[in-house]
Structure formats: structure tokens, C-alpha cells
């Protein structure tokens, strides 16, 4: 009997911890969302985030800047937010319009407010195993689900499909730091089914519908936990990278799309904001 791992369960458990911490440490955490223009996808994400913040007790401040804003004006506005002691975390929607120097801007953000791991300083901390930074939220969401569901990472054989800078690579590093044996696969992998065979944990983050098909799925054991990070649209319907029927037929535990990892990502962002607020309030050792 396959267990469907709902992201909402993990998200709700995290939110409870956050609300408790906010009360225990008398925090007034505040997240600034910086948005240039108003793309539909950004607005949709912002809406979900607003709901998570409201449920948790985090203030959300949205800074909408005109799409034609010049570099210096953008930097001035951004630095004001960056230096505001009442703001604990900053989320900047990217990609920025092409006339803005995104690489330069990602390095401006105060690493202690960089709740979505935009600044290379936080990527380096992740790589070095320094836990006082922030990991990319989606990568961490995968780990949060595994932890919440009691899946042991220690010594586990984990296979990650995808090597992006925001998910595949940081997730591989996070799994490694938790003592998993990690194989990172991608579009050039010669024998994907062979690499996935016998995995204790299989994660796909490619953005390719049906990439993990029957051929791969049949190599999975009932002891396998399969996490689908893909977001694709086929005939207008959202789906992940898994052929869900095939994977759920073989693997013992599987996340759906929608309703899996995506339901946890913005809660991880909220957790980072509360963590940042704890650290700024003089509680550097709080774990959330």
C-alpha cells in the first residue's frame, strides 16, 4: 500500500513551530518582498506566501518597483530595505528585467536577511556545511518532508535527478551533509534507470513530465521514498516529473504534484524569516 506524502502535513507542522517560537521569543518577524513589475507568476507566488505569513504571524511588506526602474534607483530602494532593522528577511523575485545587473544585486543583500539563498555567501555556507546561512527553500523543503515523514537519511542511497543551482546541486549537498550516499543524475546520464535502481530515496527536479516512467519505476523497491519536485503543465494540467501511477505502484512513499513539495516551499521561506528574526533578537541557536 503506497503512502501519499502530502506537503500540507509537513507545512502545518513547521508552521506550528514557527508560531510557538514567535510567541516564546516575543518576535515580530517581517518579510519584505521586492518585486519589479507585476508578472502573473510572481503575483501567484506572492498570494500563497501572504497566506502562509498570515497563518504563521509574519508581517509581509510588498515593495513593488516600476519595471523601468534604473539601476541606481533600484539599488537605493533595495539598500533601504536591506538596512531596515524592522525587516528580517528579503525575497527578491527573479529574473529581474535585463537592464538591471542581477549578479551584482544578488551580492548586495545582507546574508543574514537572505532567506532564499540568493547571495553567493549563503551558497558557500551551504557548501561548507556552515548552518548559519540559509539553504534554497525548495531544496530544503525536500529535506523537511523526509524528516517529517521519518525517512532516515543516514547512510541512505539517495538519487537526485537534476543539477540546477537552486535545487539539484544544493539538495545533493544537503543530503550529503546528512550522511546519505548521493548520486546526482541529469540529462547526460547514460543509464538513468540503472542509477535509480534500489534507491532508498529518489528525487526528481528536472521539469520534464513523465521523465520517471515505468522503466525507471519498476527498479524501485517498496522501501523507496520518491519525491517529485518537477512542475510541468500537460494539456493545461499541472504535473510533476513522475508518471505518478507507475511510481506509486512500486515505491512505498511518494509525493504528489500538486500538493507535495510545492506546498512546503513557502513555509520553509517563512521558517527562514522567523529564524532570521530569532538571530537578530539575540537567539542564534534556535532551530526551527
Binding site for a second copy (CB under 8 A): 120-121, 123-129, 154-155, 157, 163, 165, 169, 172-173, 176, 179, 181-186, 188-191, 195
Question: Cβ 158 to a second copy, closest distance in Å?
Answer: 10
Cα Dmax for the chain: 58
Question: Cβ 177 to a second copy, closest distance in Å?
Answer: 8
Question: Cβ 196 to a second copy, closest distance in Å?
Answer: 11
Question: Cβ 87 to a second copy, closest distance in Å?
Answer: 24
Question: Cβ 172 to a second copy, closest distance in Å?
Answer: 8
Q: Positive or negative, the Cα torsion across 113, 11, 173, 241?
A: negative
Cβ proximity to a second copy, 194 vs 258, nearer residue? 194
Distance CA(140)–CA(261), nearest Å, equals 10
Contact between residue 269 and residue 49 where contact means Cβ atoms under 8 Å apart: yes
Element (H, E) at 228: strand 225-228
Cβ proximity to a second copy, 11 vs 199, nearer residue? 199
Sheet strands (E) in the chain: 3-4, 30-36, 59-65, 89-92, 157-161, 181-185, 201-204, 225-228, 232-234, 237-239, 253-254
Question: Cβ 180 to a second copy, closest distance in Å?
Answer: 8
Q: Which residues pair with 32 in a beta bridge?
A: 61, 90
* Cis omega (within 30 of 0) for bond into 258: yes
**Cell numbers placing 139:** 531544496
Distance CA(40)–CA(71), nearest Å, equals 23
Number of Cβ within 10 Å of residue 52's Cβ equals 24
Q: Which residues pair with 31 in a beta bridge?
A: 60, 89
Q: Degrees (nearest 5) of the Cα angle 20, 23, 26?
A: 140
Question: Cβ 31 to a second copy, closest distance in Å?
Answer: 24
Cβ proximity to a second copy, 61 vs 157, nearer residue? 157
Amino acid at each position: 500500500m503506497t503512502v501519499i506524502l502530502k506537503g500540507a502535513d509537513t507545512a502545518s507542522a513547521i508552521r506550528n513551530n514557527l508560531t510557538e517560537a514567535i510567541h516564546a521569543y516575543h518576535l515580530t518577524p517581517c518579510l519584505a518582498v521586492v518585486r519589479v513589475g507585476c508578472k502573473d507568476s510572481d503575483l501567484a507566488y506572492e498570494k500563497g506566501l501572504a497566506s502562509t505569513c498570515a497563518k504563521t504571524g509574519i508581517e509581509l511588506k510588498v515593495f513593488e518597483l516600476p519595471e523601468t526602474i534604473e539601476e541606481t534607483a533600484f539599488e537605493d530602494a533595495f539598500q533601504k530595505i536591506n538596512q531596515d532593522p524592522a525587516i528580517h528577511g528579503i525575497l527578491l523575485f527573479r529574473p529581474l528585467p535585463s537592464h538591471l545587473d542581477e549578479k551584482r544585486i544578488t551580492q548586495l543583500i545582507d546574508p543574514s536577511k537572505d532567506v532564499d539563498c540568493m547571495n553567493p555567501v549563503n551558497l558557500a555556507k551551504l557548501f561548507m556545511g556552515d548552518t548559519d546561512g540559509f539553504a534554497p527553500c525548495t531544496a530544503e523543503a525536500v529535506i523537511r518532508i523526509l524528516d517529517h515523514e521519518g525517512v532516515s537519511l543516514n547512510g541512505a542511497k539517495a538519487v537526485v535527478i537534476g543539477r540546477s543551482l537552486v535545487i539539484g546541486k544544493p539538495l545533493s549537498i544537503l543530503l550529503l551533509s546528512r550522511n546519505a550516499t548521493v548520486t546526482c543524475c541529469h540529462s547526460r546520464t547514460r543509464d538513468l534507470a540503472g542509477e535509480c535502481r534500489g534507491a532508498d530515496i529518489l528525487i526528481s527536479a528536472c521539469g520534464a513530465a513523465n521523465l520517471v516512467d515505468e522503466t525507471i519505476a519498476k527498479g524501485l523497491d517498496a522501501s523507496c521514498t520518491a519525491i517529485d519536485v518537477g512542475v510541468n503543465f500537460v494539456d493545461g494540467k499541472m504535473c510533476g516529473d513522475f508518471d505518478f501511477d507507475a511510481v506509486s505502484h512500486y515505491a512505498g512513499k511518494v509525493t504528489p504534484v500538486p500538493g507535495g513539495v510545492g506546498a512546503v516551499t513557502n513555509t520553509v521561506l517563512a521558517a527562514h524569516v522567523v529564524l532570521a528574526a530569532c538571530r537578530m533578537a539575540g537567539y542564534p541557536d534556535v532551530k526551527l
